[in-house]
Homo-oligomer: A and B are copies of this chain.
Amino acid sequence: MAEEVMNNKQIILKHYVEGYPKESDMEFKNNNIKLNVPEGSNVVVLKNLYLSCDPYMRSRMSKLEGSYVQSFTPGSPITGCGVAKVLKSGDSNFQEGDLVWGMTGWEEYSIVTATQSAQFKIHDKNVPLSYYTGILGMPGMTAYVGFYEICSPKKGETVFVSAASGAVVSIRYFPNGIDIYFENVGGKMLDAVLVNMKLRGRIAVCGMISQYNLEKTEGVHNLFCLITKRIRMEGFLVSDHYHLYPKYLEMIIPQIKGGNVVYVEDIAEGLENAPKALVGLFYGRNVGKQVVMVSRE
């Protein structure tokens, strides 16, 4: 197989980050990459199309020990969920031309092993491909698992999903309290929700974005509500539940195609704009799911 050396633009993490991330914590670099599969290797060569900006990525910018995610490596490209096209494959489950989503690099081309990077083949292409970074990918599955598997919703129950955008105020829209809380924020938000939960409420703990940039986390003061209201609070990681992904797609794709689910994206064009898009998440600059388009195809 002839060696094909290509120019590969990358977003590099310069150093571990403290406090809020800044664009200057990352740099845009040109490197070369050999787009070949070494003899006997099962790697897959990807051309990255869309990259996902997700809040959990902030914690990977810190030096982590014993966490459920690994730190990024300073001097190396940032990694995250993305949609890509298979250019070459040493893995018999994937073929040239396949579209996949999974963990990839913030760069034009990535070489991964499909199992380690948890690549899912994209079968339905009659939806925007970028959706597989969000509603049809990891974030969508996370919502599905947290809501259906962890919270067991019943008809008529009130559901509150927190977001980083200072939504404590929105709790006032639940005059009769909250049955199900999908926790993404932590800290003061959790405290405010706890006093507004209803008897036998359920809290799926997915993330605590308000705490990721703090050197010392805020304390949560109202946990006694767990007792008085018999609340169940459960943390989960979507990666434990991917066996449910086909079931999820079967449910959600018709909803999207039928127009029952409206999905909003905020797409930054060009890899060079990825640092700004990621940083913007922590200032609530995005409207809709933040995606970076590296290449249309």
- Min CB–CB distance A241 → chain B (angstroms): 10
Q: Is the CB of B231 within 8 A of A235?
A: yes
Q: Which residues of B contact A233 (CB under 8 A)?
A: 226, 232-234
Q: Report, as a range, how many residues of chain A touch the other chain.
A: 20 to 34
Chain B binder among A37-45, A210-218, A271-279: A210-218
Complex formed: what's the CA distance from A235 to B201 in Å? Answer: 10
Q: Is the CB of B190 within 8 A of A227?
A: no
B-contacting residues, A105-135, CB 8 Å: none
B-contact bits for A274-290, CB 8 A (1 contact / 0 none) = 00000000000000000
Q: Is the CB of A234 within 8 A of B226?
A: yes
Stoichiometry, as copies per complex, reads: 2
Complex formed: what's the CA distance from A157 to B206 in Å? Answer: 26
Q: Is the CB of A236 within 8 A of B227?
A: yes
- Min CB–CB distance A222 → chain B (angstroms): 8
A137 within 8 A of B: no
Nearest residue (CB) in B for A237 is B230
Given contacts A219-B219, A231-B234, A234-B231, contact A224 B206 (CB under 8 A): no
Q: Known contacts A211-B224, A218-B221, A227-B237; can you find 5 more A-B pairs with CB under 8 A?
A: A186-B223, A205-B223, A219-B221, A220-B221, A228-B237
B-contact bits for A227-255, CB 8 A (1 contact / 0 none) = 11111111111001000000000000000
Q: Is the CB of A235 within 8 A of B240?
A: no
A208 within 8 A of B: yes
Q: Is the CB of A68 within 8 A of B234?
A: no
A80 within 8 A of B: no
Q: Which residues of B contact A234 (CB under 8 A)?
A: 226, 230-233
Complex formed: what's the CA distance from A231 to B226 in Å? Answer: 14
A140 within 8 A of B: no
- Min CB–CB distance A281 → chain B (angstroms): 18
Q: Which residues of B contact A226 (CB under 8 A)?
A: 205, 233-235
Q: Which residues of B contact A219 (CB under 8 A)?
A: 218-221
Which of B222, B224, B230, B235 is A227 in contact with, Cβ under 8 Å? B235
Q: Which residues of B contact A206 (CB under 8 A)?
A: 227
A90 within 8 A of B: no
Complex formed: what's the CA distance from A226 to B184 in Å? Answer: 12
Complex formed: what's the CA distance from A240 to B211 in Å? Answer: 35
A207 within 8 A of B: yes
A176 within 8 A of B: no
A93 within 8 A of B: no
- Min CB–CB distance A98 → chain B (angstroms): 32
Q: Which residues of B contact A220 (CB under 8 A)?
A: 219-221, 223
Q: Which of A186, A219, A228, A232 has the most CB of B within 10 A?
A: A219
